[in-house]
Amino acid sequence: MQPSARTAFDYKPQNSRSPNHARWFISGLLLPLIGGIVAYTVATQDDSIGTPRQAISLDTLPPIPMEQVTIPAAMPPSLLGDTVEYVVRRNDTMDRIFRQLKLNLTDLATIRDVPSVQASLDQLRVGDIITLVHDEGLVQSLTRRISETEILSVTRVNEGFKSEVIETPLDIQEVQAEGTIDSSLFVAARAAGISPELILQLANDIFGWEIDFALDIQPGDKFNLVYEQKYRDGKFIGNGRILAADFINNGTLHRAVWFESKDGQVADYFAPDGRSMRRAFLRAPLEFTRISSNFNPKRRHPILNTIRAHKGVDYAASTGTVIKAAGDGRVAFVGTKGGYGRVVVLEHGGGVETLYGHMSRFSGIRKGQRVRQGTTIGFVGSSGAATGPHLHYEYLVNGVHKNPRTVRLPDAAPISDGYRAEFLARSGLMFAKLDRGGAATVASALPR
């Protein structure tokens, strides 16, 4: 959270949104499936799967508009010369840019020598805009954004250059949006005006311990979010954090709120009762971004029968999808083993082991190594007895297979007593915003 950020009152979203019921109706029209979630558990031993499904790729979704650098309005009058706005390209360096623009290289050296300038000057990212004012190649000023809230400004003075960092605070506005899933979470999100990045936050950072976004999402599921939008000088520059979220999955309400304590010691998502949303095991040990995902909304849920002869859960996903450690643990096995193909086994303590089969390759982990929850351990493939790319996932307790989709996981830790009162007071306000719904009513500020 930016210290300078403020919350807007009376926010009206820029892109017009239809009323809620109309939005739900629109999302209902978005069948032909662009991509839903497919779930299946193979009930045979041969691990064969059907036709590969179409994978959702975030690359095909519209990009977030590139931000424009706003040059500080008050340029000192002494700075006469030509203005060049240079957009940084791949492999650019300041030297290369100066040579290309035929600017004085001694000036660059002098500018670099200005205390605290070099680090922020030389870190170039593609698309950055550097504004240079020069007089016959002699640099009069150099301006570039160095963070979301700061611009570096270097100007010529008598014997050299001086630099200053200009603060350009963001307006943080709170927006509420909701939708119902018909064909896929991403399609419903788009219909609700929510970016794919926010959906990934929802799936990976908030509900990834409670909901298996690969297998559990189904038609009729609903979401409701209050999230931040960042504006500078009235221009939308991107989304911020989700502040509160509801997800109704198969009729069960899951809710979470972002809580950052005033002293900064606590910053995470919590359930309304103050339990952390994090748990010892992820529901689905796959990166959500690339899970191949289609479901047929006419057929309710593709699997409700879970494990039969099969001792694990299969996640259809395209080859190369990141496989994550479901929980903290130690690598007990990494190698090739019969029908499993390339397989990793993790030991988690308490007699729990998890197994990940049919990988295309490993991530470079070694036997005996400790891994944290979420660490990439390998990539989806079809090695071993698999007829199509998928992850075969097993969860064992003291050597006995459990259904990872239904096994009872240890309870999450509650927020510590010292923060409980503060948490309850502030989360209550946030949940009230979720419950009211509708962007127009999200007007009151959360105390920060």
Cα–Cα distances in Å, from 56 out to 34, 288, 301?
Answer: 8, 10, 19
Q: Which is nearer to Zn ion, 49 or 199 (CB)?
A: 49
Give whichever of 98 and 340 is closer to Zn ion, judged by the CB atom: 340
d(CA 260, CA 283): 25
Please tell me whether residue 264 adopts helix, strand or coil conformation. coil
Residue nearest to Zn ion (CB): 392
> What is the smallest separation between the CB atom of 41 and Zn ion, expressed in angstroms?
8
Nearest to 441 by CA among 121, 224, 283: 224
Looking at the Cβ atoms of 151 and 316, the one nearer to Zn ion is 316
Please give the structure tokens belonging to residue 283.
Answer: 């529901």
What's the CA gap between 251 and 360, in Å, rounded? 36
User: Which C-beta is closer to Zn ion: that of 386 or that of 430?
Assistant: 386
- Shorter beta-carbon distance to Zn ion: residue 257 or 380: 380
Non-local CB neighbours of 267 within 8 Å, separated by 6+ positions: 258, 259, 260, 261
**Which DSSP string do the residues of 336-373 spell out, in sequence order?**
EEGGGEEEEEEE-STTEEEEEEEEEEE-S--TT-EE-T
Q: Which is nearer to Zn ion, 230 or 358 (CB)?
A: 358
Tokens at 287, concatenated: 């990166």
How remote is the C-alpha of 104 from its chain's centroid? Answer: 42
Taking the complex as a whole, how short is the minimal distance between the CB of residue 50 and Zn ion, in angstroms? 13
Footprint on this chain of Zn ion (rule: CB under 5 A): 47, 312, 314, 392
DSSP state of 189: H
The distance of closest approach from Cβ of residue 310 to Zn ion in the complex, given in angstroms and rounded to an integer, is 6
Indicate the residue among 343 and 430 with the shorter CB distance to Zn ion: 343
Closest CB 336 distance from Zn ion, rounded Å: 16
Record the tokens describing residue 28, joined without a space.
């209902």
Nearer to Zn ion by C-beta: 47 or 287?
47
Least Å distance, CB 388 to Zn ion, is 11
Q: Quote the CA–CA distance of 335 and 350 in Å, as a whole number.
A: 24
For residues 337 and 340, give the distance between their C-alpha atoms in angstroms, rounded to a whole number: 6
Closest contact distance (angstroms) between CB of 390 and Zn ion is 7
Cα–Cα distance for residue pair 446/429, rounded to 1 Å = 7
Q: Report the relative pairing of strands 171-180 and 160-167 from DSSP bridges.
A: unpaired
In the complex, minimum distance from the CB of residue 428 to Zn ion, in angstroms, rounded to a whole number = 44
Q: How far is CA 283 from the centre of its chain?
A: 17
Burial class, 376, CB count within 10 angstroms (exposed 0-12 / middle 13-18 / buried 19+): middle
Nearer to Zn ion, 186 or 315 (CB): 315
Structure tokens of 343?
Answer: 């397989």
- As to burial, measured by CB atoms within 10 angstroms (0-12 exposed, 13-18 middle, 19+ buried), residue 272 is middle
Shortest Cβ distance from residue 99 to Zn ion (Å)?
A: 57
- Rounded least distance, CB 431 to Zn ion, Å: 40
Least distance between Zn ion and beta carbon 447 (Å)? 50
Would you say 274 or 389 has its CB closer to Zn ion? 389
Separation of alpha carbons 139 and 134, rounded Å? 4
